[in-house]
Amino acid sequence: MAVHVVRVALMQVNGLGAIVNKNNTSINGMLGTSTEHRVIEDTSIQSSVGNPTVKEYLEAEDLLAFTLNYMDQTFIITYST
């Protein structure tokens, strides 16, 4: 049995869904962003690459036959079935 534990964070995204780096964006640019819960990328977990949304991450884990065990605002834990 394999277990995946990933962290979740609130990230600023633009209208296209791309993550915005507030250090490289003007105040005007930040006004057009919204906040989303995104999975923090962990290169050892294929489903987390690219900071997917929580929904995208869980769908990718499901395709790999992983089942959700626990989820809150900071962590998601899945295990292989």
Report d(CA 56, CA 70) in Å as an integer.
16
Domain count, the chain: 1
Query: What residue has token string 């906040």?
Result: 35
Compute CA distances 12 → 41, 44, 68, 73, 77, whole Å. Answer: 15, 24, 25, 16, 23
Say whether pLDDT at 55 is over 90: yes
Q: Rounded to the nearest 5°, which phi and psi values hold at 53?
A: -65, 165
* Domain around 50: 3-80
pLDDT on residue 25: 77
The structure's pTM equals: 0.85
pLDDT on residue 80: 94
Span 14-49, pLDDT tens digits = 888 888 887 877 887 788 888 999 999 999 999 999
